[in-house]
Structure 1
């Protein structure tokens, strides 16, 4: 019996001796208890009988008790999500096998290098300190590489990075297992350490998306159990010469789960395709609650709108900017406040002042992956499922700071721009992003007038020409033509219904500047002067009926501040989000 077996046997004997001594001490305590009188003896005898009955009852129901507790434990808040959610289960297996292989690698790397060194015929001692430093540098390089790839202009999803890392790690052990060359072994081990540097941030990113914050620490602790079991079994049953085989089998088992052709069976598919049942359900519930609160606030403002309009004797011909403030303390914009709160972040995009826009859910758009093929937008672009984030921009006027920042921050963004008054985009868009833009010198109109000068197109016609059925973001500043243009859009999609049967516009979000006159002199020279209160309200409420909700508003005071005479605030910027839209990425987040 060698040293290790003798030590193991000795530890078993010592533990057995301690258990036997404890048992003898309890027996001795029971025998030394005094018995005072017959009544006490009878009570003790009765107690012994009760204990015997209780012992029999315990042994009879002990298996059932174990099953009930096991079922309760498996249905707990930390175990249940692991085997219920396929993504978390696959992450658990990946963590177990890859990190287990890493622990085995730590134990066997130097023996493997010594074996390769010996087979090369060299008798020199290996520089273990230098080798360790090389491997640590390789891991650091892997971490830097992940940061570079994940934050580039076209970032790769963590799922794809991790799958490629696992495949490369498998090759790092497959090659030295067949080619017993010292240099190949060292270089493969360096690449494996590089894979480890990529693995940890990629795995942390996926765990953060899949596992809820409240249970993350407990689930992480549970995931360590199979990892430790795997390492103990592997170390206790594996000899030095068989470690390469173990590495290959384990990591190949992880990689074969991956099927890149089908997202539904992929090892780590894109999260929007196969979301976490726990995390997604909580996010979906939170989103529904936020939207319900916003809808309630908006509905109240609609009710107040009707009441306030009824107070004016000329309703529905209410002047936009009444002169008698004490009698009618409101303007047109007070009837249509932004009472629907965006449930996501709201960020300013583009320059401050005129030209910049507020965007609901900017971080959601930024997180979208770029299309697989970054195809340059041609003069006759073709839309499709890989089009990316589709943005239409009407009214450019040589100021494109909004579009430039959207292109810079959203790798998936593709922008179609239209303006009959300029020759192209403003200088703000860098040349590196021009391949994701398209410009046409036409105006947005109520009807198609392709042969006129300048030519005018309707929004549905432009969508059809581009082979688009949906617009994620619509930016529109067309100096009063917005009313007729959007009327045509609503006419075209009046019969487009949601699953609930409601009419809905195929637009996710709108940034629009509205232009009006005074609501009284309908033949005035100002943009939108031909629109009165009745027309505006009907137009606005039709948009609301088709899903649009005012989430932000900003007064454009240039109409007030420019010039020497008093002027009314006739221009206002609005952000509408489509609350009924079932295709918007904002509601899938």
Structure 2
């Protein structure tokens, strides 16, 4: 008896088509796997940033209404009402929600307890050749910095804290060459040469290090953030120039401050282009203070929406070299700020 494929030509056609399809699929996967070093432009990024800004602008109107409700002026608003009057109750943080939508993935880097920070789009600096991170306030806990090193190939981290003499133990020895620590403090002005503690402004430290831009700036300096950031930001607000950093992870300490003072400081951040995309109260601080614990500490993460930073704009791209990754197509991140 003849084989069925000999009796029916349709079997021959089926086998032929199957072989061709198999060869096509094999050819489609030929060559090296996709490399995370190849830059993929994000054409929708400007639209997402613009949409998030429209949503945030609505919040500004809502804040004015809330101030009128509980004020009617900022000078009449209490940070934390001492009793149940007025009702419904509120706290200062209700006036400043993190209402800006990060246009990338949001990821917590570092410890789940005190020490970790929320970052918008760490993938954007994953292979950035000139990635710069500044971290103020170490206190022997460096899980945040260690995870930045783990998630990136080339980010260099500069850490500052006059109360300790090194990064925390979380930094692996294999990555220590990408970290730089100095026992300096951060302030609104530089200290004199005879000062017992060396204090510098952010701009002075950037000049000292030869930097013109910081991708990620972390600040946790026990209420000195008000003086320090005001000294840095005010000149940029006046000049209209974009701030020299892409995003800011900040712990805010509302000690001995009025609502009106805080509102003025916060609106300065907004005028400079900073938009909060994440917040959480510091419940560890509240818990450790027992019955006297307060909610006047909160973590905020801000995105800078002005300028050309990597989190809101695609960088300049260049073609891959033939021998750089083994294939000469696609793009990689080129030097950019």
Report the TM-score range of the alignment, normalised by the length of the smaller protein: 0.7 to 0.9
1:576 equivalent in alignment to 2:336:
no
Give distance in 2, aligned partners of 1:395 and 1:429. Answer: 15
Q: 1:364, 1:586 within 8 Å by CA — same for their partners in 2? A: no
Equivalent residue for 1:123? none
Q: Give 1 or 2: higher helix fraction.
A: 1
Q: C-alpha separation between the residues in 2 aligned to 1:340 and 1:508?
A: 15
Q: Name the counterpart of 1:463.
A: 206
Counterparts of 1:351 and 1:201 in 2: how far apart (Å)? 35
Task: Give TM-score scaled by structure 1 length.
Answer: 0.46
Larger-gyration structure (1/2): 1
1:566 aligned residue: 292
Deviation at 1:495, TM superposition (A): 5.3
Q: Are 1:341 and 2:84 matched, yes or no?
A: no
> CA-to-partner distance for each residue in 1:59-100, whole Å, 9 max, x for gaps?
xxxxxxxxxxxxxxxxxxxxxxxxxxxxxxxxxxxxxxxxxx
Between the aligned partners of 2:70 and 2:97, the Cα distance in structure 1 is: 18
TM-score normalized with structure 2 length: 0.79
Deviation at 1:516, TM superposition (A): 0.7
Extract unaligned runs of 5+ from structure 1.
1-102, 104-195, 210-269, 372-387, 497-501, 518-528
Query: Could you tell me whether the CA contact under 8 Å between 1:401 and 1:429 is conserved in 2?
Result: yes
Find the aligned partners of 2:278 and 2:313 in 1 and give their Cα distance: 18
- Contact 1:480/1:514 (8 A) holds in 2: yes
Give the gaps of 5 or more residues in structure 2. 1-22, 316-337
Structure 1 residues 583 and 560: alpha-carbon distance in aligned structure 2, compared to 1, 3 A threshold: closer
Kindly tell me the number of residue pairs found equivalent between the two proteins: 288
Match of 1:350 in 2: 110
Quote the offset at 1:347 in angstroms.
0.8
Mapping of 1:431-442 within 5 angstroms? 431-442=173-184
Of residues 305, 313, 316, the one that matches 2:63 is 305
For each residue in 1:270-324, what CA deviation from the matched residue of structure 2 results, as whole angstroms up to 9, or x when unmatched? 966xx7xxxx4xx32x222222221111111111111111223473222110124
The corresponding residue for 2:10 is none
In 1, Cα distance between the equivalents of 2:173 and 2:192? 30
2:245 aligned partner = 507
Distance 1:585 1:292 in 2: 13
Cα deviation code 1:368-406 (max 9, x no counterpart): 25x4xxxxxxxxxxxxxxxx2100000000000110111
**Cα distance, 1:585 vs structure 2:** 4.4
> Which gives a bigger RCO, structure 1 or 2 (Cα 8 Å, sep 6+)?
2
SS of the residue corresponding to residue 250 of structure 2 reads strand
CA contact (8 A) 1:460 1:489 kept: yes
Q: Give runs of aligned pairs for residues 298-447 of structure 1, distance below 5 A.
A: 298-313=56-71, 315-317=73-75, 318-328=77-87, 329-366=89-126, 368-369=127-128, 371=129, 388-447=130-189
1:470-509 equivalence runs, <5 A:
470-494=213-237, 502-509=240-247
Report the CA distance between 1:587 and its aligned residue: 2.5
Q: Is the 8 A contact 1:321 1:568 kept in 2?
A: no
Counterpart of 2:9 in structure 1 is none
Q: Distance in 1 between matches of 2:272 and 2:209?
A: 23
Residue of structure 2 in register with 1:547 after alignment:
273
CA distance in 2, matches of 1:545, 1:450: 31
Q: CA-atom RMSD, angstroms? A: 2.5
CA distance in 2, matches of 1:474, 1:450: 25
Contact 2:186/2:228 (<8 A) preserved: yes
1:33 corresponds in structure 2 to none
CA–CA distance in structure 1, aligned partners of residues 241 and 92 of structure 2: 26
**Alignment check: 8 A CA contact 1:559 1:570 kept:** no
Runs of 4+ off more than 4 Å: none
| SS of match in other structure, 1:536 | helix
